[in-house]
Amino acid sequence: MAVQRRYLSLAAAGLTTAMTLSLSACGGSADGGDVTLKLVAADYGDTEANSSQHYWDKLVKDFEKQNPNIKVEVSVYSWKDVDKKVEDMVKSGKAPDMAQIGAYADYAAAGKLYSADQLLSIPVHADFVPALAEAGEYQRIQYGMPFGASTRRLFYNKKLFAEAGIANPPQTWADIAADAAKLKAKGVKMPYALPLGPEETQAETLMWMLSGGGSYTDSIGKYTIDSPQNVKTFEWLKKDLVGPGLTGTDPAKLNRQDAFNAFAAGDVGMLNGHPTLMKQAEAKGIDYGTVELPGPSGKAKATMGVADWMTAFKQNGHRDQVGKFLDFVYNEKNVMDFSGEYGLLPVTTSGSQAMLANSKYAKLHSFLGQLAQAEFYPANKTSWPMVSKTVKAKMGTAVGANGNPAGVLSDIQNAANEADNAGQ
């Protein structure tokens, strides 16, 4: 059930890029004049002190020292606002030169973006982790350049497990249910936190789909939301986890960040999480462990990967200068600085190798080891934003007391097919 996988050697990637660049060579500015580039970026920090604005300010200062004719203005917005901000700028005819956002397919389909091989030097373009490079493709051309990446693992509270007499973390769905029952008997508020609230339902949904052998799409990109595997997965959640009260709260009302906060407060036994949760849990003194996502009869065949995207708009015509800046953005030092600061995975092969070789990042190694085989949202489909919104609105109800997993999945499938056929 590969969704967005690529098994393409870096040499092949470099050859393709070289052929493209030979036809559209990137060079210096034709007029040699000063250019000011505008970048809109998302904020990965959770306080003003660690706002992404600080990262960009330092990077831009270093870049401008080396390139005095190119100025870069960076505006940082919260993840809640950044996609809409860029959408409004584009609609008003004032597209930024670059935008670091959550999706790219709509802009690529409208012909508004430069492709990666029109911008980046051959070594930089070939250095992207292959699975991430393919996840950034629209109609087999890469327009989305991965910027931040993460994978998912199951987190568990070691203290709560010990108090409940649980010796080992769960390996199967049956283990999850049995362990959650023991945690509940010990008075744990949320034995298994299942955040299917509106914040990030599409992520938790995909993790469970993959865990059950399904996904949002098949290997050729066709939506398979109501597949037998997915129906079976959510029927199990409803009957074996939510029904017996092992989630401790209504999943439809639990948001991802609230679940993370509860884990950091010591009120959650288990949940699916990404690397950011490690720092949050450690700050509150939680002794935790992580394992690969369990499946029906053993570990899941795949985990979810998430990438955010750097895009470059054609409107202002600054291709050469944007390419020079992005080459700088993606050098190993800058990639590592960003990944280290925000607990994310490097999006380049060189960065990944550097992280694996550094014991400072030992806790990220298990997440990084999953990246090459991770499966991603179908972000290359222009219908995905609408499908994601539909999942957020409906999926939580599927596992409730009066839920109907097959019916909800069928409704979402029908909406997805309609959007796909309309070319949305």
User: What pLDDT sits at residue 5?
Assistant: 35
Encoding tokens for residue 402?
Answer: 């009066």
Do 24 and 145 belong together in one domain?
A: yes
Do 237 and 277 belong together in one domain?
A: yes
| In-domain check, residue 4 | no
| In-domain check, residue 141 | yes
Query: Which residues partner with 71 through β-bridges?
Result: 36
Do 219 and 285 belong together in one domain?
A: yes
Contact yes or no for 184/403 (Cβ under 8 A): no
User: What pLDDT sits at residue 26?
Assistant: 40
Do 324 and 400 belong together in one domain?
A: no
Do 263 and 317 belong together in one domain?
A: no
User: What pLDDT sits at residue 33?
Assistant: 65
> What is the signed CA dihedral for 235, 240, 243, 244, rounded to 10 degrees?
180
State the Cα–Cα distance between residues 108 and 115, nearest whole angstrom. 8
CATH of the domain at 183: 3.40.190.10
Domain count, the chain: 2
| In-domain check, residue 404 | yes
User: What pLDDT sits at residue 23?
Assistant: 34
Q: Which residues contact 161 (CB under 8 A, 6 or more apart)?
A: 169, 179, 183, 269
Do 358 and 391 belong together in one domain?
A: no
State the Cα–Cα distance between residues 348 and 85, nearest whole angstrom. 28
Write b or e for each residue in 307-325: b if 16 or more Cβ atoms lie within 10 A of its Cβ, otherwise e.
bbbbbbbbebebbbbbbbb
| In-domain check, residue 334 | yes
| In-domain check, residue 127 | yes
| In-domain check, residue 1 | no
Do 291 and 326 belong together in one domain?
A: no
User: What pLDDT sits at residue 420?
Assistant: 87
Do 168 and 293 belong together in one domain?
A: yes
Do 297 and 316 belong together in one domain?
A: no
Query: Which residues partner with 70 through β-bridges?
Result: 35
Do 68 and 163 belong together in one domain?
A: no
Enclosing domain of residue 258: 153-303+383-421
State the Cα–Cα distance between residues 412 and 119, nearest whole angstrom. 37
| In-domain check, residue 56 | yes
| Chunked mean pLDDT (size 10), the chain, 424 residues | 35 36 37 84 87 96 97 94 95 97 94 98 97 94 96 98 98 98 98 94 96 95 97 98 97 95 97 93 96 96 93 97 98 94 94 95 94 92 92 95 96 95 71
| In-domain check, residue 2 | no
User: What pLDDT sits at residue 29?
Assistant: 41
Do 331 and 251 belong together in one domain?
A: no
Do 247 and 265 belong together in one domain?
A: yes
